[in-house]
A and B are shown apart, each in its own frame.
Chain A
Amino acid sequence: MSLLHLAIVSPLLFAIFIPFFYKYFRQIHTGWFLLPLPILLFSYFISYLPETKANGAVSRTLSWIPSFGINFTARVDGLGLLFALLITGIGSLVVLYSIYYLSKEKEKLNTFYVYLLLFMGAMLGVVLSDNLIVMYAFWELTSFSSFLLIGYWYHREKSRYGAQKSMMITVLGGLAMLGGIILLYLMTGTFSISEIVPMASEIMEKPYFVPALLCFLLGAFTKSAQFPFHIWLPDAMEAPTPVSAYLHSATMVKAGIYLVARMSPVFAESGIWLWLVASFGIVTLFWGSFSAVKQTDLKGILAFSTISQLGLIMSLLGLGAAALHYDTVEDSFYTIATTAAVFHLINHATFKGSLFMVVGIVDHETGTRDIRKLGGLMSFMPITFTLALIGAFSMAGLPPFNGFLSKEMFFTGMVRILEVDIFNLDTWGILFPVLAWIASVFTFIYSMVLVFKTFTGKFQPEKLDKKPHEAPFGMLISPIILASLVIIIGFFPNILSSTIIAPALGVIMPGLVFDVHISFWHGFTPELFMTLGVIAFGVLLYTTLDKWRQIYDLFPEKLALNRFYDGGIEGMQTFSSNLTRTYMNGFIRTYLVYIFTFFILLLGTTLVWKNAFKLSTNDLSSIGFYEVLLALIIAAASISILFAKSRLTSIILLGAVGYTVALFFVLFRAPDLALTQLVIETVSVSLFLLCFYHLPKLKRDEERIRFKAVNLAVSIGVGAIVTLIALSAHSNKLFDSIASYYIENTYKEAAGKNMVNVILVDFRGFDTMFEICVLGIAALGIFAMIKLRLARRNEG
């Protein structure tokens, strides 16, 4: 196990000790013990920067199940490192923030930090695993720990609902991804991503290519809350705010982005990939920003804003795939979209993390997150207001913040896609910049709503539970750091370009040359005018928001996706419960009908299908008078049982059948059988009579069996099938009996003359032993049934 492996699993190992810290150091907030770990990991991963910049990947293997090709291969390359830095960096800030956010007296901090560490370790595992199966294992662990964190306040019903919903949707995608992994393995014979990437062009020809692609995309879309799977993210806002900031803005929801970026070299040559990723992304972008404006809960706005920004990144990744078709282009003209995606990924993590923390502060200091109750907080919380302003302006894409730069690049990528003439993009590509522009206008509006409805306007102290005041300094540290990053990256974007973005792009689009240079000022380009247009329209629409807000009421509530989800879940439950109740009705007769019908159908169709019925008259023995007589007696007796009115008659008729069977044994030269049959029939009939004797007092329904057509049809079917099979089996004898061995050796080997007895106790004595066991168990069981009266003992 190398240091790298240790770094990946260290959060998981550290989680073991959290309960001890919590139990034995109650005075100190448990978060303080935790804080050094992500900081240490962050600085450790920083040390990989030079190596990945030199276009190399560091890879360490730890054998796990080598015989299946499943090994824990940790691989640090540009993309993995970018995510690892985000996870540990924002992780440290979130832990610091949570120390001030969660009270050590009121909350169960041990479980919180254990879940958080589980999540951090799982996330590191996802982004740094080269082996797909290992990545899948960590992937599910992120779903699982996210489930635990969303349901942290498990006594609230909404938390449980949100946790369950996110679990259902992300695990659905996770399982689809597992399917995709297996399909990839079938095509390539390996689970290692770095070995699959060089085979990309061969895979495209194979039949499983498209199913595998769809499976992976389903996994990525559910995890990254893409339309229509985004519905779990707003409900996940029931989690504590540090969790929302960490999982549901900066890290976990980007696992899907990571997956798309990671699998791009494998799948992106295909037009299906480009179209699916780009169009799902752009629809999500539009729908998320459109829905964010109508939210009244601050975290609701941020949730939909996250959805929309994830859609933005996703669509850029999809369109960036076009670059793979133009690998001769030297100025990496088409890679601009992918560059924008990676750059915006970082920017989004910074401003969205700080915005969530700001919202958490507002919630913490006023007791509500409802924008209808909030307003005019600017004078009470000046620092928080400044932080919110920076974050929101960056999110809206205003200069001089980093969001402006990535939004400019986003527009550039979208506009340039018009010049691409593959996969029908020249015809339909115009949709992308148009939708992107409209979505940006809405983004501007909700960013403004977020800041100005909260911090300016009329102060409404009567609606607030607490008297608002500025947050403690410790709570402000993390958002201050993130907001400064927003500004620093905004002014000096190129500190990231060669160190982090270029190596990451090298992974997403191998074989292309990158010269990433993010410039602040492009000159008077169309993108600049698009941004100006966004601002102009955004301001116009924001100021007239109250007038056109009603358009949201036009949207029918019935068509909301949550309705589909809830209705679907409920419908499935009702359907399956109704279905089960229909066929599992509790009547033993019904189940017997199922069993017998299945028996008839299976054997009957096989007889017909295989053309198996055969009747040969070669090997038959002669018919004698006595046999015919006995057969008639049995047939008559057994049929008259059906019509017998009283139970006594049926028992006697059953006895008659038994004795006749004994006579048959006599005729068929089986003396031992005849003896046994006679004795046992006698005992059986007396037992039946015993039952009969105890019965009548209870209920004297001495009526005939009620006639039922189904019963009759089923029984005739069973009888017919048995007869047919008996006849064809007898006509199809494949080889002679092995009886000659027994006949010859009964005396020689076993010193007996009665062959049946010798077979029972000598040749096949084991059968007899266990038959004795059966009788013994039956006797003990009968004894126990009569003697043991547990129910009465409990009563007494």
Chain B
Amino acid sequence: MEILMSVLIGILFMTATYLMLSKSLLRIIIGTGLLSHGAHLLLITMGGLKRGDPPLLGEHAKNYVDPIPQALILTAIVISFGVTAFFLVLAYRAYQELGTDNMDRLRGKEGND
């Protein structure tokens, strides 16, 4: 299962990178979204998969899955959400002010810095 997940994460990283290299600002943000999904899945995969019950003590199970990666991912999800939201509004404001979402046109000019 871990090998399958690693390949899947590789695919997510690949598509994320491809999107981030494109011209449209919205696609870049989509790329970052895919990248964070990949990173979260990588975290949980590296913690080991399906080695027991959910990390809830009421289950009285012999084994629980590792709770630490889950806590880390939860933190990461919230932070990436905050950043994505900020980034999206930034993009929205950039459309409003500059009238374009093409990264090639959003380019600093010489002597204009």
Contact = CB atoms under 8 A, between A and B. Distances in A.
Contacts of B85: 683-684, 687, 778, 782
Contact of A729 (B26, B46, B96, B104): B46
Contact of A641 (B5, B34, B53, B86): B34
Nearest to A727: B6
Nearest to A759: B71
* A631, A641, A722: residue with the most chain B Cβ atoms closer than 10 Å: A722
B21 A593 contact: yes
Contacts of A742: 67-68
Nearest to A720: B10
Given A588-B103, A691-B92, A730-B2, A743 B42 contact: no
Contacts of B75: 760, 767-768, 771
Interface string B86-100: 101111110111011
B67 A677 contact: no
Chain B interface category by residue count:
35 or more
Contact of A775 (B20, B45, B78): B78
B58 interface: yes
Interface string A659-694: 001001101111111001100100110011011101
Interface in B25-72: 26-27, 29-30, 33-34, 37-38, 40-42, 44-58, 64-68, 70-71
Contacts of A619: 48
A547 interface: no
A695 B6 contact: no
Interface stretch (A267-275, A328-336, A514-522, A646-654): A646-654
* B29, B40, B55, B90: residue with the most chain A Cβ atoms closer than 10 Å: B55
A544 interface: no
B42 A726 contact: yes
B14 A641 contact: no
Contact of B30 (A587, A654, A664): A654
Contact of A785 (B40, B93, B110): B93
Contacts of B64: 739, 743, 755
* A641, A708, A754: residue with the most chain B Cβ atoms closer than 10 Å: A641
Contacts of B68: 737-739, 742, 759
B29 A760 contact: no
B93 A642 contact: no
A782 B91 CA distance: 11
Interface string A633-645: 0110011011000
Nearest to B89: A782
Contact of A719 (B17, B44, B46, B65): B17
Contacts, number: 284
A764 to B, nearest CB: 7
* A688, A706, A729: residue with the most chain B Cβ atoms closer than 10 Å: A688
B93 A786 contact: yes
Contact of A621 (B23, B33, B51, B97): B51
A620 interface: yes
B78 A774 contact: yes
B83 to A, nearest CB: 7
Interface residues of A, number: 99
A669 to B, nearest CB: 4
A741 B52 CA distance: 16
Nearest to A589: B21
A631 B15 contact: no
A690 B90 CA distance: 12
A706 B89 CA distance: 25
Interface in A771-786: 771, 774-775, 777-779, 781-782, 785-786
Interface stretch (A15-23, A159-167, A709-717): A709-717
A672 B17 contact: no
Contacts of B18: 642, 705, 711-712, 715
A589 B103 contact: yes
Contacts of A785: 89-90, 93
Contacts of A65: none
Given A622-B50, A690-B88, A737-B66, A746 B79 contact: no
B75 to A, nearest CB: 5
Contacts of A651: 30
Contact of A753 (B4, B58, B81): B58
A622 B26 contact: no
Nearest to B101: A695
A566 interface: no
A786 to B, nearest CB: 7
Interface string A738-754: 11001100110000011
Given A698-B95, A754-B55, A759-B68, A592 B84 contact: no
Nearest to B47: A737
A730 B46 contact: yes
Contact of A672 (B29, B74, B84): B74
Nearest to A657: B37
B57 A620 contact: no
A650 B21 contact: no
A587 B103 contact: yes
A627 interface: yes
B92 A690 contact: yes
Contacts of B15: 638-639, 641-642, 715, 719
B32 to A, nearest CB: 10
A615 B101 CA distance: 43
A723 interface: yes
B12 A781 contact: no
Given A639-B11, A650-B27, A692-B26, A743 B56 contact: no
Nearest to A693: B92
Contacts of B58: 753
A641 B46 contact: no
Contacts of A754: 55-57
A698 B48 CA distance: 47
A623 interface: yes
B21 A708 contact: yes
Among all A-B residue pairs, the 6 with the closest Cβ atoms:
A719-B14, A723-B10, A778-B82, A715-B17, A753-B57, A755-B67
Interface of B: 1-24, 26-27, 29-30, 33-34, 37-38, 40-42, 44-58, 64-68, 70-71, 73-75, 77-79, 81-86, 88-93, 95-97, 99-104, 106-110
28 contacts: A589-B104, A621-B49, A624-B1, A634-B37, A635-B8, A639-B15, A641-B15, A641-B30, A650-B30, A668-B44, A668-B65, A669-B53, A670-B44, A694-B92, A694-B96, A701-B24, A712-B18, A715-B15, A715-B18, A719-B14, A727-B2, A727-B3, A729-B46, A738-B68, A739-B68, A759-B68, A775-B82, A791-B97
Given A634-B11, A684-B84, A694-B95, 10 more contacts: A593-B21, A657-B12, A668-B50, A673-B73, A680-B81, A687-B85, A691-B29, A711-B22, A737-B47, A746-B57
